[in-house]
Amino acid sequence: MRAVYRLLWANRLLRSHRVKYLGAAVAHTLGIRHLVVRFDPIRACNLRCTMCYFSDEDYARERKGRLTETEVEKLAADLFPLAYLVVVGCGAEPTMYKGFPELVRLARQNGVPHVSMVTNGILLTEEHVGQLIDYGLEEIMISAHGVTKESYERFMVKSSFDKFHAALRMIGDVKRRRGSRTPELRLNYTVNADNIDELSGFFDAFGCYGISTLQVRPVMDIGGQYRTRLAGADIERFRTIAAELGSKCKALGITFLCNTADPGYAGEPGTSLGLDAIHRYVGPDDVWRPDFDWRNESYAAFCKRSGWTSYLLRSALAPKAAVNAAGRLGKYGARYEVQL
């Protein structure tokens, strides 16, 4: 996954939205791989993490659905040939979808260079991990929002700290038995005012699991029960601990993703500009744009019908303020400093 993180690092250096939109227009016109497809085959989760919208029972009850096997295959055939990166799982838990490793196989079958997966890890089995290795999963991202048992189970409601550690051990064991370097392990930690201090002990708790990448993300307001952003003294404490973690990651050769520049998300979404040119979300009854009739038309047909190339060119020529005002992916996208 180093190539993907190098691109994320380069995105922070390349501030011009004009270059990004023009590049996307060229890639789209020539049929060059440039899409990032984040694929939720099911809208469900086995946990109720307090910083996630699934902790809102109304959301969990009302926002349900799953794609059929036929729908998954159609969407894969339509989008994966243009994808540079496919991420299985985005806003939901992919392991609740029967046969979820098949998405990895379909991505590789369609020549996708990089395939990753996001999960809380609790439902993973040895059989799953073996399949994911066979199908070519490059990275598995697992959420861990507490270093201690008390905070982990407080923020990751319905989970178990012991089961979480067992899952991490199991992944490592299967990889060793199979003699496989992949999937690489990335741990995602969402930090808030109540779990900042224990973050300094992250490697004492998880350093034995062969982590390749660590992401530390300040809490965002996405509709969860816990939505208070970092502010004041908490930001300074966070930055101090993040600097220590960054030094540790550098010494261990671990890629480190962290938003210390704007942990309260108060600034402009500079590095997010251009993401809508390449980002494609896929979920039950929610594929990319509401006017994309994906069940009855192809991606190529929709792009032609909607004038997608013209949109990319207009965005490239528009002032940055106008692109900001257009909404795009909001102020949360790609907000990481990347330490390779």
Beta bridge partners of 213: 186, 255
In this prediction, residue 73 carries a pLDDT of 97
pLDDT value, residue 302: 97
| CA-to-CA separations, 196 to 137, 215, 216, 219, 221, in angstroms, rounded | 31, 14, 11, 11, 17
For residue 235, pLDDT beyond 80: yes
pLDDT grade, residue 328 (50/70/90)? very low
The confidence score (pLDDT) of residue 57 equals 79
Residue 26 to residues 32, 95, 273, Cα–Cα distance (Å): 8, 36, 17
Cβ distance 259 to 336 under 8 Å? yes
Beta strands (DSSP E) in the chain are 35-39, 83-88, 114-119, 139-143, 184-191, 211-218, 255-258, 279-283, 286-287, 337-339
Arithmetic mean of pLDDT, 292-303 = 96
Q: pLDDT band for position 275 (50/70/90)?
A: confident
**pLDDT value of residue 149:** 97
Per-residue pLDDT at 263 exceeds 90: no
Taking the C-alpha atoms of residue 112 and residue 42, their distance in angstroms, rounded to an integer, is 21
Q: What is the pLDDT of residues 156-185, one digit of tens each?
A: 999 999 999 999 999 999 999 999 999 999
- Alpha-carbon distances, residue 250 vs 25, 110, 202, 212 (angstroms): 36, 35, 15, 11
pLDDT at 333: 64
Give the 3-state secondary structure percentages of the chain, helix then strand then coil, rounded to 5.
Answer: 50, 15, 35
Domains observed in the chain: 2-339 (3.20.20.70)
| pTM, entire model | 0.94
Residue 329: pLDDT band (50, 70, 90) is low
Question: 263 preceded by cis ω (within 30°)?
Answer: no
The predicted structure's pLDDT at residue 334: 63
| pLDDT above 90 as % of the chain | 77
Would you call 296 helix, strand, or coil by DSSP?
coil
Percent of the chain with pLDDT over 70: 96
49, 144 contact by CB (below 8 A): no
Q: What is the pLDDT of residue 277?
A: 92
Residue 276: Cβ-neighbour burial (10 angstroms; 0-12, 13-18, 19+): buried
User: Is residue 13 very low, low, confident or very high in pLDDT (cuts 50, 70, 90)?
Assistant: confident
Residue 138 φ/ψ, nearest 5 degrees: -90, -30
Alpha-carbon distance 207 to 147, whole Å? 11
Q: Span 12-40, mean pLDDT? A: 94
Mean pLDDT check: name the lowest of 162-171, 207-216, 225-234.
225-234
Mean residue pLDDT of the chain comes to: 92
Report the alpha-carbon distance of residue 134 to residue 178 in Å, rounded.
10
Residues 79-131 have pLDDT tens digits of: 999 999 999 999 899 999 999 999 999 999 999 999 999 999 999 999 999 99
* Residue 46 or 271, more confident: 46
Q: Given this model, what pLDDT does residue 107 score?
A: 98
- What letter does residue 193 receive in the DSSP assignment? T
Band of residue 269 on the pLDDT scale cut at 50, 70, 90: low
Sequence-distant (6+) residues with CB within 8 A of 237 are 196, 197
Q: Please tell me the distance from the alpha carbon of residue 338 to that of residue 256, in angstroms, as a whole number.
A: 6
